[in-house]
Structure 1
Amino acid sequence: MILSQSKPTSSSTVESALIDKEKLTKNSLVKNINFTNMGPTVMSGRVADVAVNPENSTEFYVGYASGGLWYTNNNGTTFTPVLDNSPTQNIGDIAVDWNSETIWVGTGEKNSSRSSYAGIGMLKSTDKGKTWQNVGLTDSHHISRIIINPNNTNEVIVAVIGHLYSSNEERGIFKTIDGGKTWTKSLYIDENTGIIDVDFVPENFNIMYAASWERERKAWNFDGDGKNSAIYKSTDAGTSWTKIADKSGFPTGDGVGRIGLAVFNENTVYALHDSQFRRPKGAAKKASDELTKEDFKTMSTNDFLKLDDGRLNNYLKNNGFQEKYRAQNVKQMVSVGSVKPMDLASYLEDANSMLFDSEVIGAEVFKTINGGKSWKKTHDNYLEGVYSSYGYYFGEIRVDLQDENGIYVLGVPIIKSKDGGKTFTSINAENVHSDHQALWVNPKKSGHILNGNDGGLNLSYDDGENWTKLNEPAVGQFYSVYADTQKNYKVYGGLQDNGVWVADNTARIDKGWLQRGQNPYESIMGGDGMQVQVDERNQNIVYTGFQFGNYYRIDRAKGNQKYIQPKHTLGENPYRFNWQTPIHLSKHNQDILYLGGNKLHRSLNQGDDWETISDDLTTGGKKGNVAYGTLTSISESPFQFGLIYVGSDDGYINVTKNGGGSWTRVSDNLPQDLWVSRVIASAHKKETVYATLNGYRFDDFTTYVYKSDNYGQTWENIGKDIPTSPVNVIKEDPKNENILYVGTDNGLYVSFDKGSSWSIFNKNLPNVAVHDLVIQPTAKHLIVATHGRSLYKADVSSIQKMTDAILAKQSYVFDVSDIRQNRSWGRSWSQWRDVYEPEITIPFYVNADKKVDLEIYQGETLLNAITINADKGYNEFNFDVSFSKKGLKNYEKANKEAKLKAAANDVYYLPKGKYVVKIGDAKSAFEIK
């Protein structure tokens, strides 16, 4: 057995990997494979920060947590990406010096979410994002706030929250006075406590306030509070700091959670606190005499048997107990001792319910009017429903600089107060997402606010009474993607906090749907969207769901759905379901569905009934508030029914060859304790299986990719040549058994030799996390689900033919699609429209960087010749199906009676007929019909 190798990857290793990746990109055989963004845009993705020009509020930047930086100068009508030429799309905070047009990006999201990706330090641009320079703090991982001295663009304060899953020392407050050439750490608490917020006094950069946050995240637990969470103050522009929270009225101790700050002036500051202190007993009284699970934790057998059957049945029905558990038979089970009253509480208590049932104080607002000497809570009541139990995900507060009493608290929902926090009202609306992450309040015009949330960007001019949605960028955060088998196939995908959506594969990104009244993407499930499977016999039957194994069978034709999550028996420990619970529809029988908890479940009738076909296939879980010890991947061999592999979040891979009759663990010779992101049974060879492991939840970014040719008895590491980055997915090409695709947290790779060497895709595909892949076998399309830039599509029909024999040739021309002649070639419908120019794509391969002559023939007649600077590997040339001058003469000489006319744009296009493309000795044919 290989012991756990998980330890945080050093920043130097990450930097070396980025250099290796750049070299790999330059030499990639597939760098010219073109990817097209399919959207969607309508639901957008999580916003990290916004930066608005104070002199022109129609010009601003918006940074997305994993979708890059976007710029608009027309008030959000259109956006342009400006971080695509950088090594990362992961953003924690942004700041702009508008006078010098200098942009600062702190990489690595500040939230401590399941998919809060680490960054690579501070990026700086002095040319509006055309080029970027890394100016340090490379081991920070997550940067929470940047502030620039309004009077000195080179003086910058950066708040670093630090590593998410491990301890590190590069966290705290960092200051530069030379534009990022050097940094001084001016505030440091310890290796587990970083700075989550910092803000300065308007008109006085010398006075600023900072909030420290002690937090520890593991795969199985999140502890988001501690005695080191506090408020600090500086009076010398962040050069030195004094702790001001102690004995001031602001909470102290182990229950202090995340703190957000809003500075009105040097004396008046608001602090938003995620209090993890428990509420006093009796603070939350039951609204009725309905039974709750707490009642059963101390109930005796005699008292249970005396319960009114109606009350007990209401509890059982309202809490989703299986139909077989009703008052009379449950009382019978208790009376004979097979079940205890306590079991009616523990039946409901998985890690997810424990998280949401925590009775903590939650969000509370404090205010100081004497520069932090004393603090007082602004409200007497609980701010119910603003944070629930996951306040670590929010923590932002803003004050209207035109109104000391006008404040905004960001959570679920966004609320505002006009009396200094005594009372609040919600300003969420029907077109605003419920999870709020960033807010800009116009310092010169009250009521003008720009709100960033998990559903993108919203703009209001009337203080949140009405909102405009500015979701033009394609920045969806996909977890999964699926393509069905219809001729005009549909694409399905599950997104972070934005449900499951479906569209025709031909869906385009444009604003035409606002005129048509229907977006090409249709929402079919809410919550955090998860995996999708579609019945190939009836493509209206869709299996999908939301987080923690809440799956449904949907009949899209009939418009109904059925909840199908397997249920444990009363008295049995609740099943553990991963956030991204895996499902798998058998290719052998489409009535058979597999679903993984900590055990593997199988339904023989489309999810109506379930049988458990394994014992616990994990290490058994760990104590914590996050579901752990769960299955993450399921794959059944297409060669044999019942040959099934499963992987878990704690590093186990198990296989059964008899449909669950017996199981064998096959992961003992792999690195231990890692998240099995995929285990895939080969569709080309029965004995072959692939596995990818992911150390993200240990800040271990090593690339773990393995292959076995003996059912997992032994494994070969085939990922060593992929630059360091956690791996999320591996896919076989369905046609060429030598081709593998791998998606990482920072890019997409392909191998033509079963993993011996790798090339990277990058044309129109930014450096973004790739969570899932699917190859639609008929269309030969590769669909890429990114966690930050929505979906991408590429035609891989040509590279499927890149065998060893073709790669050994000097040149090769792949199939060229036919084109249908059109009278509109070279014409415009009016003077207001562009001329329509035909085009066909000619894909070809060459074995070295060189100039090649691409020639078009009809028979022996040369009609056009173009010299191309070709790259080693795959290339494309877009040919406008025209004659060259010399080619036209050749054609007229060979076809003396032919009468050709120039199109309206004076171009001579090839007539109907069959043609040959030649590059050296290589050739291919196409037809103009």
Structure 2
Amino acid sequence: MVFSGSVIRPNKYAGILCLFLALQSYAQIRPTSGDERLKALQKRQEVRNNSPLKDIAFRNVGPAIMGGRVVDIEVNPEDPTEFYLAYATGGLWHTKNNGLSFTPIFDQEMVIGIGDIAINWNSPKRTIWLGTGEVNSSRSTYAGIGMYKSSDNGASWTYLGLSDSHHIGEVVLHPTDSLTAWVAVMGHLYSPNKERGIYKTTDGGKSWKQTLYIDETTGAIDLQLNPQQPDELYAAMWYRTRSAWNFEESGKTSGIYKSTDGGTNWQLISDEESGFVTGAGTGRIGLAVYPKQPSIVYAVVDNQDSREVVAKKENDSTYQLAALKNLDKAAFQQLDSSQLKKFLSTNRVPAEYTVDRLKRMVAMDSIAPTALYNFLFVDDGFQNKSVKGCEVYRSDDAGKSWTKTNLKPIDNYSSYGYYFGKIYVSPSNPERVFILGIDLMVSEDGGKSFVSIDKPNVHSDHHALWINPRKHDHIINGNDGGCNISYDRGSEWFKVQAPSVGQYYAITVDKAKPYNIYGGLQDNGSWYGPSNHKENTYWTERGEYAYKRIGGGDGMQAQVDTRTNQVVYTGSQFGFYTRINLATRERKMIRPLHKMGEYPLRFNWQTPILLSSHNQDILYYGSSKFHRSLNRGEELQTMSADLTNGAKTGDVPFGTITTISESPLRFGLIYIGTDDGNVQVSKDGGNTWTKVGQPAKKQPGLPQGLYVSRVVASKWKEGRVYVTLNGYRNDHFTAYIYVSEDYGQTWKQLGMNLPAEPVNVLREDPKAEGILYAGTDGGLYASLDNGISFHAFTKDLPAAIPVHDLAIQEEANELVVGTHGRSIYICSLSGIQKLVPADAKK
């Protein structure tokens, strides 16, 4: 089957209909077009150029030790001590001393997220092609705006178009023709679009032609070239859809295509007769061509087909959850007590629910026979789906036929292969193959068997690799924790730690002197450290880094009891929180539990927690319900029914609380926001709740169905409350900030001059009522007029860094900025406060 130009496959899949209906249910939530986004970038530049905040200085306080997500590595083949690191949201960095120091060279453009880069090493001043928007499809994968090019090693950049590409998987340069390049465009993450597939330019990027297109939900994830015959290219196409509640990571239109005429026409080479996996389970694909003998081609695929289930042995001593799904009353009573007891222990069912008690409860109709199944049922995307997962295929005839190489399953993807998918072959040995997943794995027998070459100082989750063409034991690896270098094929590694590229989700501060900053980072745990920290290498001599790790996983929110600055609440994804005494190292797990017979509570990826400013023994916690502890988390009381619009069928938790705020002026006046657009208020400490913001006949209310990123109860007036809404999960990038002066009964939109970029956080100034601070996916802003207009901070900050959280240390009068890609910045608020007239201050 041959595809050329804009030929469209006739097949239509349920994912398209699902996304269409989801968008139709919220009429105002439509994907922002490429043209609209370009106008938004122009608007941001105007706001920056005219900002009265240009002289407000920031200092970066790191931390750098944990690194950040590397998505691409390009190394000078003549001098491997010179290379470039491209970060998912941290920008592009250049080193000439083997990673001892780096210089950022993409900081002043209006987008910072990167998908892939390619470099013409033969160009006089170093030409760099840069595709924006990473393709790893994670929860914080930011949409790019297309292609950029620099002809002077990053001193200046030219925009090359492809504004609706969003996510670019690969950029490939012709080895001898500097004007010809190809780009693999994955397309939108959260919505269908036609600007997907393979694009080609023959005039240096001035114009592009889409030469391979399948449909609106199948994009190009990888692209590889035969270096000996550059008219021969291989493209990996990937069907995937994502919504806020479901990720469809495979489909029938995934496959491998080949062109023999420079990418003008394409042939599907992974059909059913080829030997390659096909069908609905075909997920993300990565490709590698052996340069010395290009007829050898490797492919790694995330096979979502189910593994064969091993027949249950008669002497198995425990039950599986699925066996408890459809039991009636009699069948539950007949369950073997010893097997059920072991099942309860294995699944950590609370000790109060003994076998005898459960059977009595079922017999008395206190709970349904399916109560135990309901109690344990969870599907948050991290469950073991028993899929085949990572598989490796090899072709020795330039893609005409394929053979699966791995003799045993490769457990390297868990259940989220969408986050990985790269394969590399040694430039001098076709039998040495590397695959990237949770571990970095290598095969010395052509893919038959693999071993991990991770080491304790190598972070998991790998996305990029470079192999020295002259010494193939020399490799450079990029992962979620930064960059590692090895000279002995991974037997030993050292870690490159220079750039401050931490991806913070949330931050808070204490009242120590100097005060400390606490926060959680993407896949790099939770840390705390001093606000006067300055990055330097002296810590390696002292043997002690200023920032300390206090939690693992994906670090999330943190709260500090500022009465002692010793008790910290911190945790990881989906609401696994811990109370830690920093002095004694005593730890207490904190997580609410549902009752037997109920389905599990739903927890947001960034589950919110909050200590009451009125009494720091009181902890608030949000799942799909609102919880409160009066004794520092020793006991959690469920205070509400479901405050969301309910669960949705899918493999991503949805219908969850995302933000909690309590009025600093009135104890028990509490607001929550949810991921499905609800804003609710309680005036009695969480006992009763009222939904606010809904449209009425004479009041437009709030836009419905958007992710509520923040609800902020004002410190200036009791009835005042702010709401920020975020359309990222709909590819909808309008900036939404609202204020209510009557506890949420009526609303007014603020920040109408903000560029179209989702808003993550809002804070009030501690000394001047008219000043507000806002963090968006595109930067940091302040309003000097109660939110009517906002101005950009420009000094010392990258031009387009995502700001996920803000904290204010009132005694120091400083604003602390938690960025998702460049760690933490701090500025003094005194210079900003001077810009507001005296009569506007309190």
TM-score by length of 2: 0.93
Match of 2:375 in 1: 347
Counterpart residue identity of residue 77, structure 1: L
Match of 1:589 in 2: 615
Identity between Structure 1 and Structure 2 (%): 51
Match of 2:441 in 1: 415
Match of 2:726 in 1: 694
Deviation digits for residues 559-595 of structure 1 (CA, Å, limit 9, x no counterpart):
1211110000010111100000001111121111111
Deviation digits for residues 859-883 of structure 1 (CA, Å, limit 9, x no counterpart):
xxxxxxxxxxxxxxxxxxxxxxxxx
Counterpart residue identity of residue 698, structure 1: N
Distance in 2 (CA, whole Å) between partners of 1:185 and 1:740 is 44
Counterpart residue identity of residue 416, structure 1: V
**Deviation for aligned residue 1:663:** 1.4
Structure 1 position 276 matched with structure 2 position 276: no
Distance in 1 (CA, whole Å) between partners of 2:262 and 2:591 is 56
Counterpart residue identity of residue 205, structure 1: P
1:57 match: secondary structure: coil
CA contact (8 A) 1:350 1:575 kept: no
**Deviation for aligned residue 1:309:** 5.5
Match of 1:718 in 2: 750
Pairing partner for 2:469 from 443, 451, 455: 443
The structure number with the bigger radius of gyration is 1
Structure 1 position 48 matched with structure 2 position 71: yes
1:482 match: secondary structure: strand
For residues 126-145 of structure 1, what are the structure 2 equivalents within 5 Å?
Answer: 126-145=151-170
Structure 1 position 316 matched with structure 2 position 325: no
Deviation digits for residues 653-688 of structure 1 (CA, Å, limit 9, x no counterpart):
000111223211112111111000000000111010
Match of 2:587 in 1: 561
Pairing partner for 1:537 from 563, 567, 577: 563
Structure 1 position 102 matched with structure 2 position 127: yes
**Deviation for aligned residue 1:262:** 0.7
Distance in 1 (CA, whole Å) between partners of 2:738 and 2:340 is 52
Counterpart residue identity of residue 45, structure 1: G
Match of 2:178 in 1: 153
For residues 235-250 of structure 1, what are the structure 2 equivalents within 5 Å?
Answer: 235-246=260-271, 247-250=273-276
Distance in 1 (CA, whole Å) between partners of 2:764 and 2:825 is 18
Match of 1:765 in 2: 797
**Deviation for aligned residue 1:795:** 1.0
Match of 1:551 in 2: 577
Structure 1 position 78 matched with structure 2 position 106: no
For residues 215-230 of structure 1, what are the structure 2 equivalents within 5 Å?
Answer: 215-230=240-255
**Deviation for aligned residue 1:320:** 3.2
Pairing partner for 2:188 from 144, 150, 163: 163
Distance in 1 (CA, whole Å) between partners of 2:27 and 2:724 is 15
Match of 1:196 in 2: 221
Match of 1:636 in 2: 662
Match of 2:630 in 1: 604
Match of 1:883 in 2: none
Pairing partner for 2:736 from 701, 704, 707: 704
| Deviates further, 735-744 or 232-241 | 232-241
Match of 2:209 in 1: 184
CA contact (8 A) 2:514 2:530 kept: yes
Deviation digits for residues 865-924 of structure 1 (CA, Å, limit 9, x no counterpart):
xxxxxxxxxxxxxxxxxxxxxxxxxxxxxxxxxxxxxxxxxxxxxxxxxxxxxxxxxxxx
1:404 match: secondary structure: coil
Structure 1 position 671 matched with structure 2 position 703: yes
Deviation digits for residues 125-156 of structure 1 (CA, Å, limit 9, x no counterpart):
00110111111111100000001111112110
**Deviation for aligned residue 1:473:** 0.4
Pairing partner for 1:362 from 355, 380, 389: 389
Match of 1:382 in 2: 409
Pairing partner for 2:517 from 470, 483, 491: 491
**Deviation for aligned residue 1:328:** 3.1
1:241 match: secondary structure: strand
Distance in 2 (CA, whole Å) between partners of 1:251 and 1:786 is 41
> CA distance change for structure 1 residues 288 and 415 in 2, over 3 Å: closer, same or farther?
farther
| Deviates further, 506-515 or 113-122 | 506-515
1:17 match: secondary structure: helix
**Deviation for aligned residue 1:615:** 1.3
CA contact (8 A) 1:145 1:159 kept: yes
1:206 match: secondary structure: coil
TM-score by length of 1: 0.85
CA contact (8 A) 1:40 1:474 kept: yes
**Deviation for aligned residue 1:119:** 0.6
Distance in 1 (CA, whole Å) between partners of 2:678 and 2:55 is 38
Distance in 2 (CA, whole Å) between partners of 1:113 and 1:284 is 36
**Deviation for aligned residue 1:645:** 0.4
Match of 1:867 in 2: none
Distance in 1 (CA, whole Å) between partners of 2:314 and 2:713 is 51
2:200 match: secondary structure: strand
Deviation digits for residues 30-81 of structure 1 (CA, Å, limit 9, x no counterpart):
1111111111111111011011111111111110000000001111111110
Structure 1 position 652 matched with structure 2 position 678: yes
**Deviation for aligned residue 1:398:** 0.4
Structure 1 position 173 matched with structure 2 position 198: yes
2:258 match: secondary structure: strand
Pairing partner for 1:205 from 230, 250, 259: 230
2:596 match: secondary structure: coil
Distance in 1 (CA, whole Å) between partners of 2:313 and 2:496 is 42
| Deviates further, 305-314 or 439-448 | 305-314
CA contact (8 A) 2:175 2:227 kept: no
Distance in 2 (CA, whole Å) between partners of 1:344 and 1:241 is 53
Match of 1:890 in 2: none
CA contact (8 A) 1:66 1:89 kept: yes
Match of 1:854 in 2: none
Deviation digits for residues 200-231 of structure 1 (CA, Å, limit 9, x no counterpart):
11322111111000110000000011111000
Structure 1 position 787 matched with structure 2 position 820: yes
1:13 match: secondary structure: helix
Deviation digits for residues 610-637 of structure 1 (CA, Å, limit 9, x no counterpart):
2111111111121000000100000011
Deviation digits for residues 446-502 of structure 1 (CA, Å, limit 9, x no counterpart):
111110000000011111111110121011000001001223211001000001000
Structure 1 position 432 matched with structure 2 position 465: no
Deviation digits for residues 174-210 of structure 1 (CA, Å, limit 9, x no counterpart):
0111110111111111111110000011322111111
**Deviation for aligned residue 1:748:** 0.4
1:153 match: secondary structure: coil
Alignment RMSD: 1.8
1:608 match: secondary structure: coil
Pairing partner for 2:837 from 798, 804, 815: 804
Flag structure 2 segments of 5+ consecutive residues without an equivalent.
1-24, 695-700
Counterpart residue identity of residue 347, structure 1: F
Distance in 2 (CA, whole Å) between partners of 1:806 and 1:213 is 59
Counterpart residue identity of residue 410, structure 2: L
> CA distance change for structure 1 residues 672 and 298 in 2, over 3 Å: closer, same or farther?
closer
2:684 match: secondary structure: coil
Counterpart residue identity of residue 716, structure 1: K
Flag structure 1 segments of 5+ consecutive residues without an equivalent.
809-929
Pairing partner for 2:52 from 12, 19, 29: 29
CA contact (8 A) 1:85 1:131 kept: no
CA contact (8 A) 1:736 1:801 kept: no
Structure 1 position 113 matched with structure 2 position 145: no
Distance in 1 (CA, whole Å) between partners of 2:77 and 2:188 is 33
Distance in 2 (CA, whole Å) between partners of 1:733 and 1:4 is 35
Counterpart residue identity of residue 761, structure 1: F
